[in-house]
Amino acid sequence: MTDEVSETDWKSARMTRRGVLAIVGATAIAGCSSIESMSGGDEATIDTYDLPDISRDEELEPPIPPSVPVDIAASHFDVARERVRSLLATLPTPLGPEEIPNGHIRQHLTDAASDALDGLDDARTARTGLMALRSLRRARENARYAAAGWGVADRGLTAAPLRNEYDKTVSAARETLQEHEYVGADPVRAALVHARIEARLQRATDTDIRPREESELLSVAEWGEAAESAQAYLSDARHLRAQFTASLPANVGTVRQTLTAAAKTLLADIRDRRSNLAPETNADDRTPGKIVFDELRWEVESGISRLGDAVGLASAVVDANSQLARHRAIDRIQSRREAGELVRPSDGKTVRDIRETAYEALTTALKSSSQPELVRTVLVDAGHKVMAADRGLTHHQGEISASTLDRNVADYWHATALARSASAATQQTVQTLESG
């Protein structure tokens, strides 16, 4: 699902303190190379002053936030907030050298505690309930990391009980997934909600946990984080299921057969489209039009295997909808390339226009669709491309060669094509669901 499988993309928009140091060197290098990437010869140059005004210090937010068509109870948010506060309350304030002599380890724990508080703030201002759940889950993970690490120093906590807790949660999540019933009346809404539930149960059962820290204390802290993460995913999945079921009429049936038939039909269509993909083009061509074409082609090529490995029926349908949009997007890009429309911009105004077109495409697609929640699942991914392009623009200063912006321009074109393809793909998915 968009908000879980692609969640690592969204995380790059807001880095935790523990993550910033790991990338600051690479970012600095990228910025310097951008500044000094003056091109010789006849290539046009662009003054970054003429580019879209995006503050380097601005915290970028997704243009289209993920959501789920079911109410999330205020009490569920309250329980998560209280969990974060209770974990943080176990830490001494401030956590100083007397408590944790090792400065490196102490910094990890204090940063995690600070990130947990940031997560509480983010949840309060989240634009959708799903984003609030995500912020609170991350807050819980960070708070548990800090609390478990302090538990080692304070009372000799070991990883064993945390591993046991984690294993129990994984078993419970697997059982919940196996017993999951696809109840529902409207197959579109049911697919969207059940896909969110499936995604969370899958994440709760992710057993590839390998704490990376060399320090025993930080290794225990990571086990605490893993145990809390699994429990948060499971709790959220159960709550979404309960809220969705409560919103349905009494004695409502299941949509299992409808989802099964739709998934098979959509997958067959996607396989047919894949066999008719436009061929790869000149490898020496590194224009933004070629970049976006190659990227979309790779996404539709690799998407088949992901569809076959979908965690459940609902995820298969929703992901198929996204793949249909990508197939239509690559057709759009190919048509624009053949018409000579994807020319590398040579001035800042053109870049601003390309960016504005991408944002308008996102907004228009969401507002004009009769199924905005299903369209939104595609637009969230398109929005990630816009965010990536916006971040890239902040790395440049001074006079730069036009080709320096190829990646950013390609991302804007990618987002535009995907957004403009979302409604038609969604219409096909809805018709397939309704015909089942």
Whether residue 33 is predicted with pLDDT greater than 90 in this model: the reply is no
The model's confidence at residue 212, banded by pLDDT at 50, 70 and 90, is confident
Q: What is residue 214's predicted lDDT score, i.e. its pLDDT?
A: 76
**Mean pLDDT for the chain overall:** 89
Of 2-11, 118-127, 131-140, 293-302, least confident by mean pLDDT is 2-11
pLDDT digits (tens, 9 = 90+) for 256-293: 999 999 999 999 999 999 888 887 777 667 899 999 99
Q: What is residue 31's predicted lDDT score, i.e. its pLDDT?
A: 40
Q: What is residue 18's predicted lDDT score, i.e. its pLDDT?
A: 52
Dist. CA 44–CA 40, nearest whole Å: 9
The model's confidence at residue 135, banded by pLDDT at 50, 70 and 90, is very high
CB-CB contact of 108 with 218 (8 Å):
yes
Q: Where do the structural domains in the chain lie, given as residue ranges?
A: 9-56+254-435, 74-246
pLDDT digits (tens, 9 = 90+) for 243-265: 999 999 999 999 999 999 999 99
Whether residue 70 is predicted with pLDDT greater than 90 in this model: the reply is yes
| Segment 28-53 mean pLDDT | 63
The model's confidence at residue 231, banded by pLDDT at 50, 70 and 90, is very high
State the amino acid at position 47 in one-letter form.
D
Q: Choose between 164 and 61: higher pLDDT.
A: 164
pTM: 0.89
| Segment 289-299 mean pLDDT | 94
The model's confidence at residue 436, banded by pLDDT at 50, 70 and 90, is low
